[in-house]
Amino acid sequence: MKIQNHMTVVLAVVLAALNAVAANFPVGTHLVKGTLKDWQNNVLTSSAAVTIQAVATNGTVIASTPVANPSADGYNFLLQIPLSSTATDSTAAVGDQLNCVLIQETGLALAASPITVGNANAVSSLALEFVNMQSYTNSTGTTVNVPAEYVDTITAMLEDEGIEGDNYDPFADYDHDGVSNYNEYRAGTDPFNPDDKLEIKAYAGAQNMLNSLSFEYVGGHIYGVETTLSLTNPRWALQKVKKTETDSEHEQIMPSADEEEVGLATIYVVPAEGATSQFFKLEAK
């Protein structure tokens, strides 16, 4: 009887230990690859001396990485978030909400964007802007948040063009080229020059099952392509692209990190599944 009781106690201890282990255990790492840009929409390099942190709601830093020189597809940071079945002081759980915080070399911390933690071994993407925002009311009376430097720069451009006033409507189209002032500004083109805009210069269809698009790029910007199968009821969706016909697939590409460089680039778009015809929209991001 004593032996049986002893065995029962031993089994109870073993089961309790197993339950404790099952309550929380490592499940892998979730990767967040992203792009951090400045107020001019240029992708930052390592010289920016900015660190990106994934911070839990209780203030604990779960993951941290410095901004690096951008890769060919324009990503310049990779956060590796350790996962466990239940969040701890050093891990996150799938579905957790983390805060993305930017740390300058000076120690200034700026809240940027929330991160939803995904599954282990999965990769999510994140686009951030390192800017000083301010509220601005445009000519239609709509209030929007735009970079403070954007307003300052455009005000100077207005003066150079001899246009009076200090209001710059980001939704207007001063050069009447079909692209809004703000979209031109973000793409690095001149909002006062109708010949300078982001547009597809040449197209070749379905060569080796790829569509090629040629356009003039501005250094420091990344580009992506959206497609739709119909313009009657368009449903635009991001489409995978390649830098060359034999390259691996990317969500976006960066022709050059040199902000002073401009030139002609060709990218290859992977056709949408089941598409017999499709329409393309080139975007600077």
Q: How far apart are CA 170 and CA 146, in angstroms?
A: 9
CATH of the domain spanning 26-129: 2.60.40
pLDDT tens sequence across 213-260: 999 999 888 899 998 988 888 889 888 898 888 888 888 888 888 888
- Return the number of other C-beta atoms located less than 10 Å from residue 17's C-beta: 10
* Those residues with Cβ within 8 angstroms of residue 68's Cβ, 6 or more apart along the chain or in another chain: 45, 46, 76, 77, 78
Average pLDDT, the chain: 81
The amino acid present at 173, given as its one-letter code, is D
Q: What is the mean pLDDT of residues 169-173?
A: 78
Q: Which of 47-61, 156-170, 271-285 has the lowest mean pLDDT?
A: 156-170
What pLDDT does 93 receive? Answer: 92
* Those residues with Cβ within 8 angstroms of residue 47's Cβ, 6 or more apart along the chain or in another chain: none
At 175, list the tokens: 């050069």
| Residue 45 near residue 53, CB atoms below 8 Å | no
Q: Identify the burial level of 258 via C-beta atoms within 10 angstroms of its C-beta, where 0-12 means exposed, 13-18 middle and 19 or more buried.
A: exposed
Distances (CA, A) of 220 to 28, 210, 242: 34, 26, 18
Q: What is the DSSP letter of 105?
A: T
Q: What is the mean pLDDT of residues 196-200?
A: 91
Sketch the domain layout of the chain as residue ranges.
Answer: 26-129, 133-187, 200-284
pLDDT tens sequence across 8-30: 444 444 444 445 445 678 889 99
Length of the chain in terms of residues written: 285
Q: What are 268's strand-pairing partners?
A: 212, 242
Sheet order of strands, 237-239 included: 237-239, 223-228, 279-284
Confidence of residue 208 (pLDDT cuts 50, 70, 90): low
pLDDT tens sequence across 25-59: 888 999 999 999 887 778 888 988 889 988 887 77
pLDDT tens sequence across 82-132: 999 998 888 999 999 998 888 876 555 565 678 899 999 999 988 888 777
First to last CA, the chain: 75
Is the entire prediction scored with pTM above 0.85? no
The amino acid present at 204, given as its one-letter code, is A
Helix (H, G, I), strand (E, B) or coil at 155: helix
